[in-house]
Amino acid sequence: MEIEVGRSLLESNDRLAANLSANFARHGVLVLNLISSPGAGKTSLLEKTLIALAPSLRMAVIEGDLQTDNDARRVAASGAQAVQINTHGGCHLDSKLIMDVLPQFDLKKLDVLFIENVGNLVCPVEFNCGEDHKIALLSVTEGDDKPEKYPQLFNLASVLLLNKTDLLPHVDFDMNRAVRFATTVNRNLTVFPVCCRGKGKGLQPWYDWLIAQSAAKRAKAGV
Amino acid sequence: MLACHARILLSATVRCGALANIVPEALETAFEVLKANEPGMQTARLHIIHETLVLACGVCKREFTPENGSPYAPCPFCGHEFFHDLRSGRELILEQLQVSEEQEE
């Protein structure tokens, strides 16, 4: 007997993601899924962002890592709530994992929820976590060919942050090449070159984008 | 409503897009591991249908399948290199199951 199924293998995750998305929309919480290679600077970006925007936005973080709560402790030092998910070998976060920790947050008191995904340019792209936007982070030390090698992330991301620009004089990274390939697969991609070390550099456009996106999300929810 | 009380899975057909981030050999290995732990799957076979990449040119809007499978291929009609839209290639669909039925109602 043949049974025609014709359903996505990711359907159960997509269904949970839709529930999460509806919940976030009801509360006017902007949710951003940060995706990059390990070491690209996701946690450093969050540390800078959480401190700089603390007067303007109420923010919290879900930290995804295979092991340790090192990153959760780093971002919690900024004063923001941070909840760690250890995947114990899993290479990505999914909606079930987000749903399990969500009761620890008071969505009524949040404007922005960051999901720092497990460091990986492939698998996290496939698993929607109910986010409004995927945010891609690429450091200049990784090479300018990464958008060409991993087009899916850059195809689906709304923002690309090119990090560690302070190291540009020391590495063979062609900014134009990286941006060209990333925008070839996504004409709507917004690109911010940034540096998250020291006092930081180039971060203001990213902050402005966040504030505008949060305001739009809250306005839509009527909160 | 058809209720199927199948006990034995004979085959599963999965459609994978070229950009679905799926390595067919890894999917086959996972299927074999699953079979080993499921009595009703011992003889089951996995069929993978490969879905090619289809792009729509950002300028002339015509659809094409790049010969090299790359989303960065120039449009074969107008030569434009940038901003192609993805029409298909990200699918991961369970299309069909073939089962032996014990009872049907």
pLDDT, tens digit only, all 223 positions of chain A: 899 999 999 999 999 999 999 999 999 999 999 999 999 999 999 999 999 999 999 999 999 999 999 999 999 999 999 999 999 989 999 999 999 999 999 999 999 999 999 999 999 999 999 999 999 999 999 999 999 999 899 999 999 999 999 999 999 999 999 999 999 888 899 999 999 999 999 999 999 999 999 999 999 999 9
Chain B residues with CB under 8 Å of A153 CB are: none
Rounded to an integer, what distance in angstroms lies between the CA atom of residue A37 and that of residue A24? 27
- In tens, the pLDDT along B44-87 reads 999 999 999 999 998 999 999 998 888 888 999 999 887 788 89
Closest residue on chain A to B95 (Cα)? A6
Average per-residue pLDDT in chain B? 88
Residue of chain B minimizing CA distance to A155: B86
Chain A, 183-202: which have a CB under 8 Å from a chain B CB? 183-185, 187
Looking at residue B75, its amino acid is C
CA–CA gap between residue A213 and residue A222 (Å, rounded): 14
pLDDT number for residue A185: 85
Q: Give the pLDDT mean for B4-24.
A: 88
Q: Are A34 and A117 in contact (CB under 8 A)?
A: yes
> pLDDT category, B105, cuts 50, 70, 90?
very low
Are B18 and B48 spatial neighbours (Cβ–Cβ below 8 Å)?
no
Least confidently predicted of A24-38, B3-17, B88-102: B3-17
Burial B49-71 (b: 16+ CB within 10 A, else e): eebebbbbbbeeeeebebeeeeb
pLDDT exceeds 50 at position B104:
no
Q: Contacts of residue A7 in chain B, CB cutoff 8 Å? A: 93-94
Verify whether the Cβ–Cβ distance A122 to B58 is below 8 Å: no
Nearest CB to A152: which of B19, B93, B99? B19
Q: What is the pLDDT of residue B47?
A: 97
- Yes or no, beta carbons of B91 and A8 under 8 Å apart: yes
Closest CA in chain B for residue A185: B83
- What are the angstrom distances between the C-alpha of B58 and each of A177, A181, B82? 19, 14, 7
The predicted model scores a pTM of 0.89
Q: Is the pLDDT of residue B89 over 60?
A: yes
Residue B101's pLDDT band, with cuts at 50, 70 and 90, is: confident
Contact B59, B80 (CB under 8 A): yes
Burial code (b: 16+ CB inside 10 Å, e: under 16) for A14-52 equals: eebbeebbeebbebbbbbbbbbbbeebbbbbbbbbbbeb
The CA distance from A26 to A19, in Å, is: 11
> Helix, strand, coil: what percent of chain B each, to 5?
15, 35, 50
- Does A122 contact B21 at a Cβ distance shorter than 8 Å? yes
Contact between chains at A151 and B58 (C-beta distance less than 8 A): no
**pLDDT attached to residue B102:** 64
Query: In terms of CA atoms, which chain A residue is nearest residue B7?
Result: A1
Cβ neighbours of residue A199 closer than 8 Å, sequence gap 6 or more:
none
- What's the confidence (pLDDT) of residue B72? 85
